[in-house]
Amino acid sequence: MKSPYLITKEEIVRIYKPVNPHTHKGIQGHAVIIAGSYGKIGAAVLASKSCLKSGCGLVTTFIPKCGYQILQISIPEVMTVTDESINFITNIHLPLIPQAVGIGPGIGKELGTQKALFEFLRVNKAPLVLDADALNIISENLSWLELVPEDTILTPHSKELERLIGKWNSESEKFQKTIAFSEKYKVIVVMKGARTFTINRNSVYENTSGNAALATAGSGDTLTGILTSLLAQGYEPKYASKFGVYLHGLTADIALRKTGYESFIASDIIKNLGKAFLSLEK
């Protein structure tokens, strides 16, 4: 394998499009987050809040009924649409045409949720981020990936990646298999871990921000929100995938001085997004 390209601050500054002073929420991107199930509504909260705090104008979150009050109280800025089922998602219906969708955090793998995911993938045309249980469901139904838009971003951690591509015997085999997967399904794979690599066909990009403080519950859920927000704002997937992981890592680099590794939690990613964006201003 060729050595990876490094995702540097200089490159990210070039990718970053500062907000136009004449913009309004209606053209700043409407993102949809589809997330959560009973006991994991927190995943929907984290993904939705990070989505809104990464610059898109509107966020609508689709959750099972049990999450309604939690979400509305946690983030009044986010609109919610609820499933007909109480505890998990069974029928995804969106009263809008989104500019991007992030699906998967905390949705679980109930049969009804699997069917809802399939039906959603069949009709969805918006740029897409697939994470967590959406990946776990798809790993048992790989042909569903033929339904997703080209350059859909998948964000597996190493266990989820293993479910998708099978076991590997060496690091180089892991990369070979992920490159082959990205080429076969025409998707971008963000291989999350202590080192995060973005695989776009046979190009491999290594992120240079972030630290071990990110090894905390919900950290990946916030990445899904950030990536979905960038797609909704019109960043092309090939740029959003690099920009999102860089921003996510940068929040932890900024926060570390105050939180240390131990007390950093996923909400600190959200809290530091503003400083992360400010540090990119030219």
Task: By CB under 5 A, name the binding residues for Mg ion.
Answer: 132, 220
- Pattern of binders to ligand ADP over 132-161, x per CB under 6 A? x------------------------x----
Piece in contact with ligand NAX (CB under 6 A), picked from 16-24, 72-80, 158-166, 195-203: 158-166
Q: How far apart are CA 213 and CA 175, in angstroms?
A: 25
How many residues of this chain bind ligand NAX (CB under 6 A)? 16
How many angstroms separate the CA atoms of 198 and 247, rounded?
A: 14
By CB under 6 A, name the one of 55, 64, 105, 249 that touches ligand NAX.
105
Taking the complex as a whole, the smallest distance from the CB of residue 136 to ligand ADP amounts, in Å, to: 11
Q: CA 188 to CA 276: how far, in whole Å?
A: 24
- Give the containing element (helix H, strand E) for 7: strand 5-7
106 binds ligand NAX (CB under 6 A): yes
Contact 189, 178 (CB under 8 A): yes
The residue count for the chain: 282
Q: How far apart are CA 231 and CA 52, in angstroms?
A: 12
Closest residue to bound ligand ADP by CB: 220
Window 156-185: residues binding ligand ADP (CB under 6 A): 157
Residue 211 interacts, among Mg ion, ligand ADP, ligand NAX, none and using kind-specific CB cut-offs from 5 to 8 Å, with ligand ADP
Which residues does residue 190 pair with via DSSP β-bridges, in sequence order? Answer: 198
Contact in structure between 193 and 174 (CB atoms under 8 Å): no
Q: Round to whole Å and give the CA distance between 127 and 102.
A: 9
The yes or no reply on residue 223 touching ligand ADP (CB under 6 A) is yes
**Interaction residues for ligand NAX, span 187-216 (CB under 6 A):** 193
Using rule CB under 6 A, residue 194 touches ligand ADP: yes
Which is closer to ligand NAX, CB of 106 or CB of 127? 106
Rule CB under 6 A: choose which of 88, 100, 120, 133 binds ligand NAX: 133
The pairing of strands 153-154 and 79-82 is unpaired
Instruction: Please classify residue 20 by burial: count the beta carbons closer than 10 Å to its beta carbon, then call 0-12 exposed, 13-18 middle and 19+ buried.
Output: exposed
- Picked from ligand NAX, Mg ion, ligand ADP, none, the partner binding residue 55 (CB below 5 to 8 A depending on kind) is none
The rounded distance, in Å, linking the Cα atoms of 152 and 130 is: 7
Say whether residue 102 binds ligand NAX (CB under 6 A).
no
Is the CB of residue 50 less than 8 Å from the CB of residue 76?
A: no
Binding-site annotation, residues:
43, 106, 157, 192-196, 220-221
Residues contributing to the site for ligand ADP (CB under 6 A) = 132, 157, 192-194, 196, 210-212, 214-215, 217-221, 223, 248
